[in-house]
């Protein structure tokens, strides 16, 4: 492992040890339902993580590979990327980013509510909107949050060059959870849940190069650098799977 990767790993471990983040900052007007109250970044994370866990508990048949643990990892990656961008002078609106992170896959908690009994990312937008309106979250922030959620998926066809930085952070952080042993396990869990067999998995992830596509979608250099080894591992895994099935 080269020096930079060791440093990246240490930063992530520190994030995990400190649970959410050190040096918590106050975000004006961030208290859902009471704009006069100021919530810190940590308080917002705790609030939305709790909402996420409650929705998971109430879910009829949640997809476990998209559960609260996935949302929390996406938050840790988001924080890691945010800190890197802030060092370069970018301003991050955590009042948008934190709810978007913890609400981005909540429809996976009740996938059979969706049309055709299949989880659809468009439903995430409606579900997130419902939660935020119930919280009386600032109205102008709701549309920003839902528009960020709407472009986080791998199916996003066109990525606008002028998209908000929070949209890029969420999409890249979400992709960071796709590679390596953990990412492969999540993919296999999701695919078997959708009744895909091994040949279809090989077709999508090896022949159609879905893994490569997801890696190439990432825009923030630190995101790509962080997952590079895991990305190579995933490509090799699906290639070997194809070879083993063909012999
Ligand atoms: Fe998603
Ligand atoms: Fe996700």
Q: 26 forms bridges with which residues in the sheet?
A: 40
Total structural domains within the chain: 1
pLDDT at position 171: 96
Cβ neighbours around 54 below 10 Å, total: 13
Residue 30 lies in a domain: no
Residue 72 lies in a domain: yes
Which ligand has the shortest distance to the CA of 173?
2
Ligand 2 is a single-atom ion; what residues have CB below 5 A from it? 105, 174
Please write the tens of the pLDDT for every residue from 8-62.
444 444 444 333 333 465 554 555 555 446 688 999 999 999 999 999 999 988 8
Residue 194 lies in a domain: yes
Residue 215 CA to ligand 1 center (angstroms) comes to 15
Which ligand has the shortest distance to the CA of 148?
1
> CATH code at 239?
1.10.3210.50
- Give the integer Cα–Cα distance in Å for 71 and 49: 8
Tokens of 198: 């091994």
Residue 169 CA to ligand 1 center (angstroms) comes to 13
Residue 25 lies in a domain: no
Residue 32 lies in a domain: no
Angle, nearest 10°, between helix axes 165-176 and 68-87? Answer: 130
Please write the tens of the pLDDT for every residue from 196-208.
899 999 999 999 9
pLDDT at position 34: 54
Residue 178 CA to ligand 2 center (angstroms) comes to 9
Residue 23 CA to ligand 1 center (angstroms) comes to 29
Residue 24 lies in a domain: no
Distance of CA 166 to the CA centre of its chain: 12
Residue 214 lies in a domain: yes
- Give the integer Cα–Cα distance in Å for 236 and 77: 24
Residue 1 CA to ligand 2 center (angstroms) comes to 27
Residue 152 CA to ligand 1 center (angstroms) comes to 6
pLDDT at position 10: 46
Residue 36 CA to ligand 2 center (angstroms) comes to 32
Angstrom distances, CA of residue 222 to CA of 38, 54, 130, 139, 215? 31, 32, 33, 32, 12
Residue 144 lies in a domain: yes
pLDDT at position 27: 58
User: Which residue range is the domain that position 148 belongs to?
Assistant: 3-19+38-246
pLDDT at position 193: 82
Structural contact between residues 20 and 45, judged by C-beta atoms closer than 8 angstroms: yes
**pTM for the full predicted model:** 0.85
Q: Which residues of the chain have pLDDT under 50?
A: 1-2, 5-23, 28, 35-36, 116-117
């Amino acid at each position: 492992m080269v020096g930079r990767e060791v440093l990246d790993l240490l930063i992530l471990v520190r994030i995990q040890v400190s649970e959410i983040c050190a040096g918590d900052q106050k975000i004006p007007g961030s208290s859902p339902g009471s704009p006069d109250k100021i919530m810190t970044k940590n308080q917002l994370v705790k609030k939305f993580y709790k909402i996420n866990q409650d929705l998971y508990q109430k879910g009829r048949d949640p997809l476990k590979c998209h559960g609260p643990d996935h949302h929390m990892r996406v938050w840790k990656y988001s924080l890691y990327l945010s800190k890197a961008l802030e060092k370069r002078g970018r301003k991050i609106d955590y009042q948008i980013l934190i709810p978007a992170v913890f609400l981005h896959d909540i429809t996976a908690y009740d996938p059979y509510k969706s049309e055709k009994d299949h989880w659809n990312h468009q439903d995430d937008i409606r579900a997130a909107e419902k939660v935020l309106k119930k919280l009386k979250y600032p109205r102008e922030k709701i549309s920003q949050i839902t528009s960020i959620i709407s472009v986080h998926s791998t199916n996003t066809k066109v990525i606008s060059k002028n998209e908000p930085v929070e949209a890029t952070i969420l999409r890249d952080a979400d992709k960071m959870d796709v590679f390596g042993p953990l990412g492969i396990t999540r993919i296999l869990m999701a695919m078997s849940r959708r009744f895909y067999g091994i040949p279809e998995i090989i077709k999508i992830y090896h022949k159609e190069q879905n893994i490569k596509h997801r890696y190439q979608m990432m825009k923030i250099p630190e995101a790509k650098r962080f997952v590079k080894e895991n990305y190579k591992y995933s490509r090799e895994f699906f290639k070997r799977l194809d070879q083993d099935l063909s012999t």
